[in-house]
Amino acid sequence: MTKKTIKKKMMNKLKKLNYKYYLGIFVLGIILVFSFIFLLNKPEPEIVEKVYKTYTYKLEQPELYSQPLIIKTFKNTFSIKPVEAKENVQKVIDTQNKNKVRYIDAYQNTDVVQIRQNNKLKEDIILKQAGHPEEFIYQIDIESYDFEKDEENNLVFYKKGYLGKELYKLFTIPKPFMIEEKDLEQEDIGRVEMRVEGNKLILIPDKDWIKNHNYPIIVDPTIEINILNIHSHPQQGDDWVVEFTTQGQADLYIIPDDQATIDDDEFVALYCGEEEMTPQILENDVIYYPDWECLGIAKVVHYTLTAGNHILRFEFGDQIAYAYNSNIISLIDSLEYDTEYGRYSSLVMIDATHFILAYRGTNSYDAYIKTFSIDDNYDNITEIDSLNHDSADGPYTSLVMIDATHFILVYRGLDSDGYIKTFSIDDNYDNITEIDSLEHDTTFAAWPSLVMIDATHFMLAYESDTGTYQQKLKTFSIDSNYDNITEIDSLAIVSTYASSHSLVRIDATHFILASSYSGEDGYIKTLSIDGGYNITVIDTLRHDILYGMYNSLVMIDATHFILAYESWVNDSTHPGYISTFSIDGSYNITEIATLKHQDDDCKYNSMVMVDSTHFLVAHSDSGETGFLTMFTIDSNYQNITETYDLEYDTVKGTFQNLIKIDTFNYALSYSGPDDDGYFKTFRLISNEVSLDVDSVIIKKNIIFKKNVIFK
């Protein structure tokens, strides 16, 4: 090979090398440019946006409305079939929203619209004009589940054999309601009775409400699917264990919700049943498991380095729930609403941020009604309006809300006589106005307890005086204008000293009453009314043979009740008790369990239900200081346990009236230092919580859930 040939070949190789070199430089440059652009646009490491891979439930909507509707969630199937719907009513899919279907004239003068939402199926029964059905009946797949009505009259379905176990909650039918179609803000809500008879679900809209409103009217039943349930166990030693159940498959994130949780809790393990799973641990100790699917009860375990108040946020698909490792009742705000006198208060929640209060106040013990507001953080209690409606006297109050702008009050007025009045407020919770007044007892009236039977009828238990301070029960009516208060029936039950009444409505015709009489012993009675609102006593139980004062009775469910009251040991010792009771199908009463929780005096009890196993009681001790005490019961309504208390007023706390705003937040009116009137709000966070996912409310940048259950 000649030198010329060799040189030529070398030059050709060099050209090829130069070409590859420059091509490599060019490609590397492109890569660097795109990498730089990517880095500039790289999202922050915090988890904000996620692409969820989840299909929470399958919906089989029939072509004909009269056929069964099928809802499937993972391995659970729920069917519901209209019983008296028209035949051959075709499904019409909305052209703008594929998740919305309409069945036109599914019933006489009635359309049905179904809207599939993320974790629920919303059905609007649209009453177009008069002549529509008076009730709507559905055949439901009830044999496959256990079910109960909760304290808000929602119908809750559980896995068979797990009634009341929050981790096994599958479906919920919330308490239905109705509105005028034009009432988009839902300012005027009508009542819809919901009951189950055999395998039939029956919805009965309030006919009187419909008569006073304009068509079209929407009746709103909904079926909710419980996708994510959580149960946080109290810390045992150094371990914090949170159990949870999920339906379906989705990405799972378990996120420390604040810096304290990041710093103080160290991840140990994640389990599905007994199998330990291997998640990814992201920045800020976030536990991530893609495509999570677990048939049984899962749990996550953390080692707690430092005890404190810790929060975990669970995100499963687009569902969110929280677990807490704390046990706190904390004061949010306090207002001294009467700086001279404030006893015998009766507090009612109008909505989540507005309240109305009746009490005996200043100016020689006059009778007052006031309205108040709080902000969205349950803070900044503010008085809106005040009405001095009786300048003679005003103790022994019992106030009931008829609707969002109308109220009815019983109290003791001039000469210790019994009065009943109706009032209104405007849409701004202002301008309290008296509508009507009736002097229903011209001898004596004390210790009243008033409940609403329906929108125009009411029942009252109180102490009268015909020489022996007898116990009386009465029913009253008002007209559609909240006027013309009329006494319907009066029944004198006992002719000896009777006081401390706490009356509870079981259903539209049955009631239960706690009271003290015959030497101040403790009694429970069941009562009924007929179609004419005439009263009959069904059963009587003497549950405490010594004493039974300062009663506060709460319905747990349709057949179980819990009572806070004060008993007696001697003249200087009146211990506090909590007791549970049941009634059978004939409304006969049986005591289940009792707990003495306080050795000295326990007066002015006011109890609310947090959930079906947790109860919060406001009361005072022998020194008349004010306490909030938490109690739990088991699923058999036995084993009552005191779990926590807060001395909310170390000087004085009497004449308490405690109400529940929502599961986390509570309002209290009471007579405090110098007998002045106080209004306080409190927040409750428990160390054992279960949450079922519903709509979200934002409070102080913390996402709380409705239907949160403390366990």
Query: Buried b / exposed e across 176-191, counting CB within 10 Å, b at 16+?
Result: bbbbbeebeeeeeebb
Give the pLDDT confidence of 412-424 residue by residue, as tens digits: 999 999 999 999 9
pLDDT bin (cut points 50, 70, 90) of residue 531 is very high
DSSP letter string, 253-316: EEEE-SHHHHHHEEEEEEEETTEEE--EEEGGGEEEEEEE--SS-EEEEEEESS-S-EEEEEEE
**Between vectors from CA 489 to CA 487 and to CA 490, what angle results, nearest 5°?**
100
C-alpha 329/C-alpha 311 separation (Å) is 16
Number of Cβ within a 10 Å radius of residue 699: 16
C-alpha 509/C-alpha 490 separation (Å) is 16
What pLDDT, on a 0 to 100 scale, did the predictor assign at position 489?
A: 96
Assess whether pLDDT exceeds 90 at residue 271.
yes
What pLDDT, on a 0 to 100 scale, did the predictor assign at position 245?
A: 84
Assess whether pLDDT exceeds 90 at residue 41.
no
Contact criterion met (CB below 8 Å) for 385 and 373: no
C-alpha 346/C-alpha 580 separation (Å) is 24
Give the pLDDT confidence of 664-710 residue by residue, as tens digits: 899 999 999 999 999 999 988 654 433 333 322 222 222 223 233 33
pLDDT bin (cut points 50, 70, 90) of residue 227 is low
What pLDDT, on a 0 to 100 scale, did the predictor assign at position 73?
A: 63
What pLDDT, on a 0 to 100 scale, did the predictor assign at position 74?
A: 55
**Ranges 67-76, 121-130, 207-216, 379-388: which has the least confidence:** 67-76
Assess whether pLDDT exceeds 70 at residue 257.
yes
**Ranges 17-31, 225-239, 520-534, 602-616: which has the least confidence:** 17-31
Strand runs labelled E in 404-485: 406-412, 418-424, 433-441, 446-454, 457-463, 471-477
C-alpha 407/C-alpha 434 separation (Å) is 10
pLDDT bin (cut points 50, 70, 90) of residue 519 is low
What pLDDT, on a 0 to 100 scale, did the predictor assign at position 186?
A: 62
Contact criterion met (CB below 8 Å) for 475 and 452: no
Assess whether pLDDT exceeds 60 at residue 27.
no
C-alpha 348/C-alpha 401 separation (Å) is 7
Query: Buried b / exposed e across 256-267, counting CB within 10 Å, b at 16+?
Result: bbeeebeebbeb
C-alpha 269/C-alpha 441 separation (Å) is 67
What pLDDT, on a 0 to 100 scale, did the predictor assign at position 159?
A: 80
What's the rounded mean pLDDT across residues 580-607? 93
Contact criterion met (CB below 8 Å) for 554 and 607: yes
Q: For the chain, how far is it from start to end, CA to CA, in angstroms?
A: 94
Assess whether pLDDT exceeds 80 at residue 3.
no
What pLDDT, on a 0 to 100 scale, did the predictor assign at position 75?
A: 62
Assess whether pLDDT exceeds 60 at residue 286.
yes
Strands of the 603-611 sheet, one edge to the other: 603-611, 614-620, 626-632, 641-649
**Between vectors from CA 553 to CA 550 and to CA 555, what angle results, nearest 5°?**
175
**Ranges 29-38, 126-135, 587-596: which has the least confidence:** 29-38
What's the rounded mean pLDDT across residues 551-565? 96
CA distances from 250 to 52, 56, 319, 365 (A): 7, 9, 10, 62
C-alpha 347/C-alpha 337 separation (Å) is 13
Number of Cβ within a 10 Å radius of residue 131: 10
What pLDDT, on a 0 to 100 scale, did the predictor assign at position 480?
A: 95
CA nearest 570: which of 593, 603, 599, 550? 599
pLDDT bin (cut points 50, 70, 90) of residue 205 is very high
What pLDDT, on a 0 to 100 scale, did the predictor assign at position 242?
A: 86
pLDDT bin (cut points 50, 70, 90) of residue 389 is very high
What pLDDT, on a 0 to 100 scale, did the predictor assign at position 304?
A: 84
Assess whether pLDDT exceeds 70 at residue 478.
yes
What residue has token string 């429970």? 524
What pLDDT, on a 0 to 100 scale, did the predictor assign at position 404?
A: 94
pLDDT, mean over the chain: 83
What pLDDT, on a 0 to 100 scale, did the predictor assign at position 46?
A: 38
C-alpha 389/C-alpha 87 separation (Å) is 57
Assess whether pLDDT exceeds 80 at residue 327.
no
Per this entry, what is the length of the chain? 711
Contact criterion met (CB below 8 Å) for 610 and 557: no
What pLDDT, on a 0 to 100 scale, did the predictor assign at position 431?
A: 97
What pLDDT, on a 0 to 100 scale, did the predictor assign at position 540?
A: 94
Residue that wins the pLDDT comparison between 348 and 706: 348
Domains located in the chain, CATH noted:
58-225 (no CATH), 228-325 (2.60.40.10), 328-685 (2.130.10.10)
**Stretch (H or E) spanning 22:** helix 3-40
Contact criterion met (CB below 8 Å) for 345 and 359: yes
Contact criterion met (CB below 8 Å) for 644 and 625: no
**What is the value of pTM for the model shown?**
0.59
What pLDDT, on a 0 to 100 scale, did the predictor assign at position 363?
A: 66
C-alpha 295/C-alpha 272 separation (Å) is 8
What pLDDT, on a 0 to 100 scale, did the predictor assign at position 600?
A: 80
- Return the DSSP state at 64: B
C-alpha 132/C-alpha 86 separation (Å) is 12
C-alpha 364/C-alpha 385 separation (Å) is 20
Assess whether pLDDT exceeds 50 at residue 17.
no
Percent of the chain with pLDDT over 90: 51
What pLDDT, on a 0 to 100 scale, did the predictor assign at position 460?
A: 97
C-alpha 397/C-alpha 360 separation (Å) is 8
What pLDDT, on a 0 to 100 scale, did the predictor assign at position 481?
A: 97
Contact criterion met (CB below 8 Å) for 514 and 524: yes
What residue has token string 């005439």? 534
Contact criterion met (CB below 8 Å) for 677 and 360: no
